Amino acid sequence: MKITTELLAPYAGGQMEVQNSKEGYIYCGEIAAVTVEDGELHVTWAWVAKGESYPPIPKQWVKANELNYRASLWIGAVIGLGDSRLCFTLVTGDAIIFSPRGHGNNLNPAKVEGLQLAEKASG
């Protein structure tokens, strides 16, 4: 399956999670915009949080300031989760999960430390 802007467009307004257990980070946030250009994924988050004490499981989520994520898609494996989520891994070790708006596993922005109420209204 080829990852394209058209494939990812329905996830705008939903959430994207990026995790890399080898590098020790996990981010999750609401997708404001998502495109694929020249084999590169471009995501702009409306808000994003970083999981603290990951791996194995984040003990808390705190507001992160970097609202842009870019990654080369030249090598990766796509795994559909069967419940409307889309997951793929990259050669960098990043595992990315796209979830539609309202998905039961989405991060509740009210649980993100430091995220302001005006920002929470979008999620």
E strand intervals along 38-101: 40-52, 60-64, 68-72, 76-80, 86-90, 95-99
Does the structure show a pLDDT above 80 at 121? Answer: no
Instruction: Tell me the backbone φ, ψ of residue 110, rounded to 5 degrees.
Output: -65, -15
What SS3 class is residue 58?
Answer: coil
In this predicted model, what pLDDT tens digit does every residue of 70-117 receive, in sequence order? 999 876 667 776 678 999 888 889 999 999 998 888 999 999 999 985
Does the structure show a pLDDT above 80 at 41? Answer: yes
In this predicted model, what pLDDT tens digit does every residue of 46-73 receive, in sequence order? 999 999 999 999 999 999 999 999 999 8
Task: Identify the pLDDT of residue 118.
Answer: 63
Task: Identify the pLDDT of residue 22.
Answer: 94
pLDDT band for 123, please (50, 70, 90 cuts).
Answer: very low
pLDDT band for 11, please (50, 70, 90 cuts).
Answer: very high
Domain spans, the chain: 5-118
Taking the model in full, what pTM does it have?
0.87
In this predicted model, what pLDDT tens digit does every residue of 24-37 receive, in sequence order? 999 999 999 999 99
Q: Nearest CA to 29 among 54, 47, 42? A: 47
Task: Identify the pLDDT of residue 76.
Answer: 66
